[in-house]
Structures are given as C-alpha cells and as structure tokens.
Chains A and B, each alone.
Chain A
Amino acid sequence: MGLLSIIRKIKRKEKEMRILMVGLDNSGKTTIVLKINGEDTSVISPTLGFNIKTISYQKYTLNIWDVGGQRTIRSYWRNYFEQTDGLVWVVDSSDLRRLDDCKMELDNLLKEERLSGASLLVLANKQDIKGALTPTEIAKVLNLEVMDKSRHWKIVGCSAYTGEGLLEGFDWLVQDVASRIYMLD
C-alpha cells in the first residue's frame, strides 16, 4: 500500500476537506474565514502570504487555506492547488472597476488542471455596501453559466461584515464535496 493511499484512507476516516480561498486583493477572504470561525474581524491586515484554519463544520473537518490576493503574490496561488476539494472564489461586489481583472484571474484559475475536480463556490461579498452588484449580476459578469456542464458551481451573495450568506455558501460547498468524496458512507 502506497503512502498516498494510506493518507487518503486516513483522510477519509477523519472526513477532512481541503478548501482553497482565492480572489483579488480587498475582496474579503480573510474576513470571511475569521467570521465563519467566530473570530474578531475588526483588525485584519492585508494577507502577506497565507493563513490556514482548521474548522469543524457539521461532521467534517475543513482545512481552509486563505491565500493573499495582492497582484505580486497571485503567482504563488498555484502552490496551493494540489488536493483541493473545494474552491472558494471571493468577489468584492462593490469594486466595479476591477471586475474585468476579477474575471480574468478566475478564468486563469479554472484552466488549472489540478483544480478541475474541485467544486466552485463564488462568494459575491460586500452585499452590505450600497451600490454593490447582486449575485445574479456578478454571475453574468463572470460568465459563470459556461461551466454548467464541466463543474459543480454556485454563487452566493454574502457580507463578511454582517455574516449574512456565509453559512449558506459553505453549506452548499461542504455538501457538494461530501457527495463526491464520501459517497460511500
């Protein structure tokens, strides 16, 4: 029995999932992670590098990798692709100017072979800000429906500030990943 299959077995037993959070800078990735973990979100510096949080969610253990989104460090995202079960793409719905950038980075990301099996949750964050685009609008801008056949995806509006929508999004993601990986249980 190879080491890999041993690790897989252990992983299956513990019901772990690896979740990768990415998105442009200033989209609120770290705030979202801290918020669902019930931590203080009032002082968060832009992420220089990455954070890992292990969270018990329902009957699963989520390993959430929150990777910094500044342009300089986006090229390091690929170091975190391996073994990703669920992908969370966070969008600042109030940053209309950079939606093009956002689409481009997402398109690049989804071309990645190592992520081809991962379920995609798009969080249209900052819905609390007046003037933010709705999730439906964001879905159109990002042209998400082209993935209908190739990937499990969902877009959810949320506010990391108020916490609204976060659980709905993660519920879907965890269920979706679970139905793929842990089908046998």
Chain B
Amino acid sequence: MEEEEGADPNLTTKTVGIDAGLQKKHQAMLDRLSNRHQARLDNSLARRSDSTISSESSSSFLSRFSHSKQSIDSQLAESRLIAQSDPSRLKSHFADVSSSISDLEKLVAESSYFLPSYEVRSSLKTISDLKQNLETLNSELTPKRKFSFKNKGTTKKEHPKEPEPAKPDTVSTSNFKIPDSPGFRNKSNETLVKKFEGTEVGEFTLSDLDSCEVRLIGCCNAVFMNRLKNCKVYLGPVTGSILIEDVEGCIFVLASHQIRIHLAKRCDFYLRVRSRPIIEDSNAVRFAPYCLDYEGIEMDLEKAGLSEETGNWENVDDFKWLRAVQSPNWCVLPENERVGKFLRAVPGLRALNNRHVCDALCYLA
C-alpha cells in the first residue's frame, strides 16, 4: 500500500478528504477487534478456571448424583404403597419418577465433559437400571388396571359415559362401560365350542385359557387370542384378521386374511392365509397348511374368500429376523409330524358329545 501511495502522489491528495472518515472507521474496527480478542481471552480463561473447578467438583457431582438416586429409589419403593392405598395416583407418581430420572440423566450429560469416563459409564448404568426398575414396577403394578376396566365399568353404571374429573391421570378406559366382547375367558381343561350363524358375526376373543380345546365353527370378522397355554384352537374362516399374543404349547388351525403372531413359544400353526403371516418375539413355532374339516366348511371358506390354498402358510415374516437367511425362530412342520385332518365328521355342536372320538381321529390320522 505504502509503496503505491508513494508512486502516485496525486491519488493521495485526492483521498485525504476521505481519509479522516476512513481513519475513524479503521480505529473503530481496531477497537472492536481488540475488544473481541480480550473477550475471547477472558472466556478461555474462565473456561480453564471453570474446568479446574469442575474437576474438583467431580466429587460434588458424585454426591449430587447419589443423592438424587437415593430419592428416586425411595420414590420407587413408595410406589408399591401408593398402588395399595391410592392406585389412581400411580400414574402421576410414575410420571414424576420418570421425570426425576430424566433430570438425573441431564445432570450426567451436562457433567460428562469433565467426568472421568468410568464415572460416566457407571452413572449411565445406574440410570438405565433405574429406568428398568421403573419399567418393571410400572408393568407389575398397572396391569390390574389394564384388565379391570370391564368390571369397573359395570359397577359404575350411574355415569358410564362421564370420565370422573377427579382422576384425569388414570387411563380413562376405566371410566366408562366398554361392552364385553363375546369370547371365552379364564377357563381351564374345558372343551369350548361356538357356532357362528347368520348375521351375528363380529369379533371373538379367546383369553386366559389353559389346557382347553376351542372350536369356532362358521365365519366371523376378527379373532383376538391372548394368553393361551397348552390349548388346541380350531377356527373356521375369519374374514378379517387374527391377532395372537402370548401363547405357549398350543396347536392352532386357522384360516384368515391376515394373521399376526406375537410372543408365541413352542406352537404349531396350521394356516391358510391370503397374505403373509407374521411372527414377532416368538420362537420354536412351526407351520403347516390348513386342514380343518367340518360339515359346511367348504361353503364358509368360499364365503370368506379363502377357498383357495394360497401357499402363504410357509411365507412367514419374522419381524425379529430382518435378514435374507431363514429365521431360527420358525420352521415348516415336517410332513410326518403333521396331523392329517382335524375335526373330521364333527358337525358343529355335536362335537361335544363326540369329543373322545374326535380326539382319537385327530391323533390317529
């Protein structure tokens, strides 16, 4: 710059007028820069001193951490008492606990940059344990509420449709009457038969059955199954979907448009499905084609659009095994282990009387 100015004096004289203004600007800029520099220096100093404080405070962090952990622990312990005395408060209580856990988590996150990595890991472990505890307590203490709503509903007949404002936090399902859906519930060692006729088709529920034999003859729209153990379930065609959850040691003979199987263990499924059946969280389940026989089943299958074998019974999707290789959780039932025909020559309700004959047929075939 200087050289250029020297080389062309005319230019300098011209620019003198502007120079004063420029000079000012230049000075202001310099000031600003030095200010910023100072600020930066201060900042970094502060940060350094900060970190020295915080390294000392790693012990103070630990004491804070253990303090809040204790309070959460006691809150968790308290929840059992609450469950007994005032279950309606349980939900808000759990919400409180979970928010204090997340506060704790935040504390760890904020302190993580100065904490030794061991401390970070162990506190994260503690937090995940706490979460786990909360989860188990929650599932342990709340299912009562989950399945009591139907009964509760009937006892509170006066205001079936008005949720009580006193407990806005409880799940409002408990506050009005949900009509009990048709189904078989809470039975053991029984043969349960239901024949669907005419237009009264709808949904049907099987739940909490132990060592039962269930026969649903005819068509219905939807079937829900939940918590079955060592049962044999024979179903006529279902026009909608079947949802199965938490079953063990059972045999199912099912025909439907959609079949979803969750939490099944050691079960055999004889299926006819329009779409691909799916399993989730299941293992040791085996699949074979549908083979139910009762008087009039051909017509029912036709009516439900299930008269053709689609071959989908073996196109099982395992949502816990999203890979191209065969899932270890299910297999095709070997042909020599398959039962030939179920319920042959058992026309509907007469099955009850022929029970022993039928069983013999099933297992000799």
Contact = CB atoms under 8 A, between A and B. Distances in A.
Between A42, A43, A73, the greatest number of chain B beta carbons within 10 A of the residue's beta carbon is seen for: A43
B258 A44 contact: yes
Contacts of B274: 42-43
Given A42-B274, A130-B201, A95 B317 contact: no
Interface residues of A, number: 31
Interface in B271-286: 274-276, 278, 280-281
Interface of A: 25-26, 42-46, 48, 70-73, 94-97, 99-100, 103, 126, 128-133, 137, 140-141, 143, 161
B203 A45 contact: no
B319 interface: yes
Interface in B159-175: 161, 163, 168, 171-173, 175
A143 to B, nearest CB: 5
B178 A25 contact: no
B241 A96 contact: no
B161 A140 contact: yes
Contacts of A45: 258, 275-276, 278, 317
B179 A131 contact: yes
20 contacts: A43-B257, A45-B278, A46-B258, A48-B278, A48-B317, A72-B320, A73-B319, A94-B203, A94-B221, A95-B243, A97-B224, A97-B226, A99-B173, A103-B173, A129-B202, A131-B181, A131-B182, A131-B202, A131-B203, A161-B240
Contacts of B146: 100
Contacts of A72: 280-281, 319-320
B334 to A, nearest CB: 25
Contacts of A43: 257, 274-275
B323 to A, nearest CB: 12
Contact of B172 (A44, A71, A126, A141): A141
Contact of A137 (B168, B178, B226, B257): B178
